[in-house]
Amino acid sequence: MDFVMKQALGGATKDMGKMLGGEEEKDPDASKKEEERQEALRQQEDERKAKHTRMEAEREKVRQTIRDKYGLKKKEEKEAEEKAAMEQACEGSLTRPKKAIPRGCGDDDEEEEESILDTVLKFLPGPLQDMFKK
């Protein structure tokens, strides 16, 4: 009969007393076991964190060897250099810094025209060169 009842309850005969209003059995070592369990969980968490820090340190070594091999810089270093360059360029200016104008664009047109004119003048005879230079 106990077997049939145990099967019907799914093996929860200990909980049957609680359901019927009986007192719960107290384990005298329950608090001690709980403390040990909590300590074991803390220890496992510390071991996991230590393992991950070791793995990250190894990864960083590999990254650094690649950076050294190919002459790359860390993202933070690049950002710091760019920020320093922007601050240095903006020290006396109230506006944003101008972008670099590629060679052959903008203000360089006058110099190119002068150089073309000088080239043409070289091929002219002496008296004509004097007329154009004045």
| Whole-number pLDDT of residue 41 | 97
pLDDT of residue 3: 62
Residue 77 pLDDT: 84
Helix 126-133 to helix 109-123 angle (10° resolution) is: 150
This model's pTM is above 0.85: no
* pLDDT score for 93: 59
- The CA distance from 29 to 36, in Å, is 11
d(CA 14, CA 26): 12
Q: In the Cβ-directed half-sphere of 45, how many Cα atoms lie within 13 Å? A: 6
Q: What is the pLDDT along the chain (134 residues), one digit of tens a residue?
A: 566 666 666 655 566 666 666 555 667 788 899 999 999 999 999 999 999 999 999 999 999 999 999 988 888 888 888 888 777 766 555 665 566 665 656 554 444 556 777 787 777 777 777 777 76
What's the pLDDT score for residue 75? 83
Cα–Cα distances (Å) from 108 to 97, 100, 101, 104, 105, in that order, read 20, 13, 10, 6, 6
101 in Cβ contact with 107 (< 8 Å) = yes
Alpha helices in the chain (DSSP H): 2-9, 13-19, 30-70, 75-89, 109-123, 126-133
Looking at residue 54, its pLDDT comes to 97
